[in-house]
């Protein structure tokens, strides 16, 4: 009896691990120039349906220059340039635009979802460092956390836009670019509902249940 209970417990745990895997939005490799505003920023259509507990994985390489080169920052909006910026800031700092997000930060979204900073301006992005990185990554960012509590989901074919955060009408003298893509370790997506999609662990659990029945069956 003890052997049967233990066996079933292990198989059930594996099954839970298998069904707990969520879907992840894939961002095709995209060049986002410093002049990418809310009208001209590049966009892509998502493949699959995604809920609040699904994720997005991304990396961004490079920097953009705002205000004719007076403000250089990475995709989180953390200043990477030397000297004093036109906002009076220095390397390792951020300056907030009118929308409350860092100038030069990479935003993702659309007119319905709103636009959010894809990379947080924190220590991993060089906040507080004299030499912030120009290569950033964001792993397993929960969509509900990214787009906020009002987020209800993204349906197949929804178009998302990538934008550099700056003041409207002042993009004309920006330069530089970000190269944005899905983190290399993420190679595919699984459409919702993820709980109904068999995974490797789920298959192992099924095989484990079969083995348990054979092991505990009367001789």
For residue 193, give the nearest of 54, 57, 55 by alpha carbon: 54
Residue scoring higher pLDDT (135 or 207): 135
Q: How confident is the model at residue 211 (pLDDT cuts 50, 70, 90)?
A: very low
Mind listing the pLDDT tens digit for each residue in 45-83?
A: 999 999 999 999 999 999 999 999 999 999 999 999 999
Q: How confident is the model at residue 217 (pLDDT cuts 50, 70, 90)?
A: low
Q: How confident is the model at residue 94 (pLDDT cuts 50, 70, 90)?
A: very high
Helix (H, G, I), strand (E, B) or coil at 162: strand
> What pLDDT shows up at residue 167?
97
Q: Domain 23-194's class?
A: mainly beta
> What pLDDT shows up at residue 218?
56
Q: What tokens were used for 34?
A: 């410093």
Buried/exposed code over 151-173 (b: 16+ C-beta within 10 A; e: otherwise): beebeeebebbbbbbbeeeebee
Mind listing the pLDDT tens digit for each residue in 145-160?
A: 999 999 999 999 999 9
Domain ranges of the chain: 1-21+197-219, 23-194
38 exposed, middle or buried (CB, 10 Å; 0-12, 13-18, 19+)? middle
Percent of the chain with pLDDT over 90: 73
């Amino acid at each position: 009896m003890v052997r049967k209970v233990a066996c079933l417990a292990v198989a059930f745990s594996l099954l839970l691990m298998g069904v707990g895997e969520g879907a992840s939005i894939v961002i095709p490799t995209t060049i986002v120039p410093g002049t990418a505003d809310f009208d001209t920023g590049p966009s892509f259509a998502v493949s699959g349906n995604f809920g609040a507990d699904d994720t997005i994985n991304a990396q961004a390489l490079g920097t953009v220059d705002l205000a004719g080169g007076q403000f250089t920052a990475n995709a989180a909006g953390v200043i990477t340039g030397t000297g004093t910026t036109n906002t009076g800031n220095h390397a390792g700092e951020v300056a907030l635009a009118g929308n409350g997000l860092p100038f030069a930060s990479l935003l993702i979204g659309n007119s319905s979802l709103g636009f959010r900073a894809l990379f947080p301006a924190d220590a991993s992005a060089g906040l507080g460092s004299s030499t912030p990185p120009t290569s950033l990554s964001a792993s397993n960012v929960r969509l509900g956390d990214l787009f906020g509590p009002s987020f209800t989901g993204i349906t197949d074919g929804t178009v998302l836009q990538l934008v550099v955060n700056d003041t409207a009408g002042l993009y004309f003298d920006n330069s530089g670019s970000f190269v944005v893509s899905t983190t290399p370790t993420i190679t595919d997506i699984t459409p919702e509902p993820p709980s109904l999609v068999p995974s490797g662990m789920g298959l192992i659990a099924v095989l484990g249940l079969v083995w348990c029945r054979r092991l505990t069956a009367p001789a």
